[in-house]
Chains A and B, each alone.
Chain A
Amino acid sequence: MSYVPHTDAERQQMLAAIGVTTIEDLFEAVPASHRFPSLNLPAPMSEIETAAELQALAEANEHAGDFAIFRGAGAYHHFIPAAVNHVLLRGEFYTAYTPYQPEVSQGTLQAIFEYQSMISTLTGMDAANASHYDGATSLAEAVTVALEATRRKRNKIILSPAIHPQYRAVVRTYHQGGNLKIVGDAGRADIPDLLDMVDENTAMLAVAYPNFFGQIDDFAGLAQKVHDAGALLVMVANPMALALFKTPGELGADIVVGEGQPLGIPMSFGGPYLGFFATREHYVRRIAGRVVGETVDQDGKRAYVMTLRPREQDIRREKATSNICTNQGLMALAACVYLSLMGKCGLRTVAELCYHKAHYAARQLDALDGFQVDMSKPFFNEFVVKCPQPVQAINDALIEKGIIGGYDLGQDYPHLRNHMLVAVTEMNRKEEIDALAAALKEAPEEIRS
């Protein structure tokens, strides 16, 4: 099947109007030597057969619909109210383009404006943009803003090693063409160690909140010291944690970025997600990406429009600080609908459920012989547990019992070999947590035999 509606008769009429005999005649500018190559693709397939093939592929995966899942590390299995998906499936939203023409895009524009407002509220920042691709690219763009805000006079940034390893990798990818010095994450470094690295050449210091290990670090005095050095404080935050914990604004952050996936977006094997980006008024005009502002139309009616446009790539061309054009519009809409449904009470309730269940799980696991949970700092819904055997072997044993275990930290942190990062959300019932504890208790013996 194809989605081309033309009948043979219509094709003939159109060709006649153009004055050619066949469609092929229209391609005369393409070098004849390379024109109409063979195309080795499968034959067309019906919708019935295609759906069956995709269903088989989908079912070949071990997913959170069939398994109890305790894996997080940047992507979380949270509850998504049915209404979110129904709004996303409105063709008026998902088959529209970027709202360049405000008169016929007020739906998208107002939804983004509401999303920006909610992100500002969550983070305690003055303004947010319409989104970046994901949490990692949002951090990479924050680096650019910090370098611009310090007028390219500073070329060093400090990244906490407790920021998601893949986010740090993305910062390196984005800035490999410049002369940026990235320090802080080579080994183990806590907040005071990072502060010791701040100097007059430092454009920014970035920390995670909660950090990659689920912990809430002590940020007392951090912002003051970073600001005294003329640098920016960037926080990579989990938006679900922000329902419960102090706003990054209260903690003195200048830019807050993070992954919006927990806000109504399915895990979907890693994307599409939602990079949120919020900042203080002082830096608003340096934000990359799209921003929606409120204004009025010719009749004085309230209206919304993309603003701060001159900084964008299509106008500023080689002087633009980022080439971003498409963002994650539909994912921002998902977060906006999700936050509307959850509201003041619902989001706090979900965050508390995560907190209580994670702490219950931590206690259960810590009580097991050979397992030890790191309780040295307060944590939200993820924690580190030291295991008696390699994490991979334990996870292999867990999957046999219908459980997707935690993330193997040894992959990224050599000193954390045999340490598992366990995530617990409102989706994990008590029975699942108890089953995890029971399975872990038996795992060492099963692995040995």
Chain B
Amino acid sequence: MTEPLIYDISVPGRCGVSLPGVDVPETPLPTELLRKELDLPEVSEMQVIRHFVHLSQFNHSIDKGFYPLGSCTMKYNPKINEDMARLPGFAHLHPLQDDEGAQGALALMFQLQTWLAEIAGFKAVSLAPAAGAQGEFAGILMIRKYHLDRGDTQRTKILIPNSAHGTNPATVTMAGFTAVELPSDENGDVDLQALKAVCDDTVAGMMITVPNTLGLFESHILEVVKTVHDCGGLMYMDGANMNALMGVVKPGELGFDVMHYNLHKTFSTPHGGGGPGSGPVGVGEKLVPYLPGPVVVMVEDGTDDEPPLYGLHMPEKSIGRLKAFHGNFGMHVRAYTYIRINGDEGIKDITRYAVLNANYLRVKLQDTYHIPYNRYCGHEFVLEGHFGDAPDIHALDISKRLMDYGIHPPTNYFPLIVPEALMIEPTETEDKQTLDAFVDAMKKIAAEARENPDLLKSAPHTTPVSRVDEVRAAKQLVLCCRPIPEWAG
């Protein structure tokens, strides 16, 4: 199945919009400054709709079927969220509107900051980061500035367990630090001896994911936090896996100094085929002055007759702006809606059932697949996608074969510490029937791997395209279907 490129269905002279005429006296255009032509497609509105509807049908999505992509929290995205973000008072609000004229938006942001701080036990939250990776970056920059402000200039290292998300080491480098990798012990926890050995006055802090990327809650978390704090370092928690923690434990209370939230994971804002995300950061007392800005503050308390007055504020020693304006506000509206509807009990249930679902799948699959570190997991777990008696079959083949069963593959080859890793995260919104169907499919595939391995090696068979030639894509780069004419480049 293929769909022509939008340019390929273009017909000269066609247009997909109707526009008004010029209702003011015209001004001559500065001809010497103008471009020669504009190579955009010429198509009708219906052609556009059909084209993109066809394309949409080539995608797997949460709305279409099970999406157990580990570490990505592909939960159901409630439809009300979309309607709320599109309310004219939000969608058509200019970012540089005077604070007095944006009180509704600012009140919403203030409330969301407060709720997020409460959920994770932090003193303050900034909604500025545009994505989780930016939240991480902000967190590490805050740690950097905190040490520098105290004249503590020899701290150049950030410790990262080897089970960390790939973004963590990249973030550390971007912020000008050196990443020092820590090994895991036989239980999948941070190796405490190794940690103690590297902790000295050159350590600026540690980045750790809780639960870690094996889906396991760090058994000695308090000791890890204390060890790093004792050498003067600060603790960063990657909050990508908050879906396993809400109502169960507050990272701020465990001693973490800073953490980012992924609104597009935990708080149901859609993933959008790769963004937009939103990655607010929460901090303890020490780092409040360093938050990225602007943040929303209450300028005047409310009275019985008057609501409070909110305003945008740049924290005193802020690491600065992370993007223009104030974060991905449209995502803030969706997360606010989600927390409001769920309320205290609903938020707790999210974690309870996310963890129940993951453990149910783990137990149901443990006899068919090898599960290293097999203990109670959080919201996800990792199994090995290969079999001793079917040596040619790899995790990738199992993944591709799952597509034929209408299921999106789990996360492949991550974390790196498990060979042939398949990382499975069902989320709380999947029902028992879906989970059972997934278990059936995984068991059938395990049988197929022995009986008919070619069926897996050549999978998928039912998708719009078969496996693609990535070498060709990388070597003969074709990134644009319209060669740029001589005059334009």
Contacts and interface: CB of A to CB of B under 8 A. Distances in A.
Direct contact of A and B (CB under 8 A): yes
Nearest to A23: B352
Contacts of A56: 104
Contact of A93 (B61, B107, B172, B487): B61
Contact of B479 (A92, A99, A127): A127
A44 B468 contact: no
A29 to B, nearest CB: 4
A326 B16 contact: no
A72 to B, nearest CB: 8
Given A2-B346, A42-B344, A173 B322 contact: yes
Given A42-B340, A266-B92, A177 B16 contact: no
A37 B121 contact: yes
A441 interface: no
Interface stretch (B28-36, B190-198, B297-305, B383-391): B28-36
A85 B86 contact: yes
B217 A106 contact: no
B169 interface: yes
A352 B10 CA distance: 23
Nearest to A290: B274
Contacts of A60: 89, 103-104, 107
B466 A58 contact: no
A95 B77 contact: yes
Interface stretch (A182-190, A195-203, A295-303): A295-303
Contacts of B98: 62, 392, 395, 399
Interface in A390-405: 392, 395, 399, 404
Interface in B22-61: 22-27, 29-30, 33-35, 37-43, 45, 48-49, 51-53, 55-61
A233 B385 CA distance: 48
Contact of A121 (B84, B460, B478, B484): B484
- Interface size class on chain A is 35 or more
A347 B56 CA distance: 25
Interface residues of B, number: 206
A259 B465 CA distance: 33
B132 A326 contact: yes
B173 to A, nearest CB: 5
Contacts of A27: 217, 248-249, 355, 376
Given A83-B48, A247-B35, 9 more contacts: A4-B429, A41-B119, A113-B479, A114-B7, A293-B479, A314-B166, A324-B131, A325-B133, A360-B25
A181 interface: no
Nearest to A361: B24
A430 B348 CA distance: 54
B179 interface: yes
B323 interface: yes
Contact of B167 (A51, A83, A95, A325): A325
Interface string A342-368: 111111111011011101100000000
A103 B464 contact: yes
Given A326-B131, A378-B33, A92 B274 contact: no
Given A114-B7, A247-B35, A341 B473 contact: no
